[in-house]
Amino acid sequence: MMNQISFNTFILGLRPKLYRFSLSMLKRHESAEDVVQEVGFRLWKGIRLGQEHPQLEALAMCTAKNLCIDMLRRNNRRDGYLAEALMDHKTQTVKTPQIILEEKDMHAFICNLIDRLPLQQQMCIRLRDVEGYELDEIAHILECDEGSVRTNLSRARKRIREQILQQWNQ
């Protein structure tokens, strides 16, 4: 059975992924933090009750996904996004103000494109292209089969390509 130290190491390692995924869905740092803490709490509770899980990371992400969906349903709050907050953190190389502005615009544009996709497609693309999960892991997290993950991923990517090319050619 996993002890507290190894659990803490595991959950701290997973925290960035949980946080990013929750933030991408909830758009609020505090809510994302709440989800991360709740996931940790639930997993540890399960472990203490002797419920071992072969894919603990997938279970953690799946719990985060379910908590996010619950929160979204409860609050129905999808207003705005925190691309600004993310961008401040990411543009640290020396660039001209114009490039920074263009990159911020593009970042916000892509973020907005993803946010406008159906929820299942959003989660697929974030879990694959941002978090780097394998298709079977995504299927496990989203509680669906690998085929529908592939379909959702393909649809999401094609939709984004279409919109980006349209924007680029304007």
Partner 1 sequence: MEPINETTIRRLLERYHEGETSLAEERQLSAYFTQAQLPDDLLPYRALFGFFRAEAAFTPPAVRPQKIRAFGPKVIRLLAPLTAAAAVLILYFALRPPVKPDFICYLDGERIYNREEALQVADQQWALMTAQLQKASAMAEKLEQMTDYTEIIHKYIAK
* Contacts to partner 1 from residues 55-84, by CB under 8 A: none
20 binds partner 1 (CB under 8 A): yes
100 scored as a contact of partner 1 (CB under 8 A):
no
Give the residue, chosen from 4, 6, 116, 134, that forms a contact with partner 1 under the rule CB under 8 A: 134
Touching partner 1, residues 21-60 (CB under 8 A): 23-24, 29, 32-33, 36-37, 41
Instruction: Tell me the angle at which helices 83-90 and 97-115 cross, rounded to the nearest 10 degrees.
Output: 140
Does residue 99 bind partner 1 (CB under 8 A)? no
Judged by beta carbon, residue 56 or residue 86, the one nearer partner 1 is 86
Are 23 and 29 in contact by the 8 Å Cβ rule? The answer is yes
Q: Which residues bind partner 1 (CB under 8 A)?
A: 12, 15-16, 19-20, 23-24, 29, 32-33, 36-37, 41, 86-87, 89-90, 103, 106-107, 110-111, 126, 128-132, 134-135, 149-151, 153-154, 157-158, 160-161, 164-165, 167-168
